[in-house]
Amino acid sequence: MTNNRLALITGASAGLGAEFARQYAEKGWDVALTARRADRLDKLAREIEEKYKVATLVITQDLALQKSVDSILHELKEAGRHVDALVNNAGYGLPGTFFNTSWKEQAQFIRVLYTAPIELVHKLLPGMAERNFGRIINVASLAGYAPGTGGHTLYASVKAGLIKFSESIHAEAKDAELDIHCTALCPGFTFTEFHDVNGTRDMANESPKWMWMEAGPVVEAGIDGVTRGHPVVVPGAVNKGVATLTRILPEPLGRELMKRQSKRFRKMEND
């Protein structure tokens, strides 16, 4: 047992999740790592313990399962630990349209990207309030600002919901005068495995390099933002510009632009 604060990170086996684990560990936090791939979690845990000399806890779990959140919290309790920071990072893209995907696929998508993160926040908040300390980062997306697309149907909806949810939790904690900060982190294109998993790597490779960010600065912006108490963080100048543009564009024009972009996604999926 250590006296360090503990950060719980979902989707910690790769990409932004692994980078969150490294950066929190570098700051002297212990980290609890959860994802489906035990081998990757174990490898990351060994790396972090050796490099940063902090404690790690590996919890192999699939957030698509109904009891996954309770299972994660049970393992934390058994280890005698409480959560000081929560990073809801687990996620993926679901290619195809609403017509050609099954409800099981859509329901699991909602569960992993929206229901489970909200359940984690709901069940961890009482302890954070009792200790008067908590930091919550919900990894949303720049897509949460944009009109919906044809294909990847629920992605923008879920990310927009995470943004609004984070703003609400931030406001409630502030009204209660609690030292609890909640931030929606809204990255754009980021160099991770995300596009490999959802089958859009070729499309992503065609995008201009100036639109992309490395994982490190994205995560740094998220941690800095939640530390400072910012309810929403859009990392990078280009992403900030895009977010502003989505607010000022006439809605019909914005929808037409997204329609053209979604056709590119569907073409890549069908090739």
**Active site amino acids:** 155
Tokens linked to 183:
């931030």
CA distance 197 to 215: 16
CB 87 within 8 A of CB 9: yes
Query: Closest by alpha carbon to 269, among 148, 94, 98, 92?
Result: 94
CB 91 within 8 A of CB 11: yes
CB 4 within 8 A of CB 28: yes
Bridge partner residues of 233 (DSSP): 185
CA distance 144 to 157: 7
Strand, helix or coil for residue 199: coil
Backbone angles phi, psi at 200, to 5 degrees: -115, 25
CA 174 centroid distance within chain = 22
Rg (CA), the chain: 18
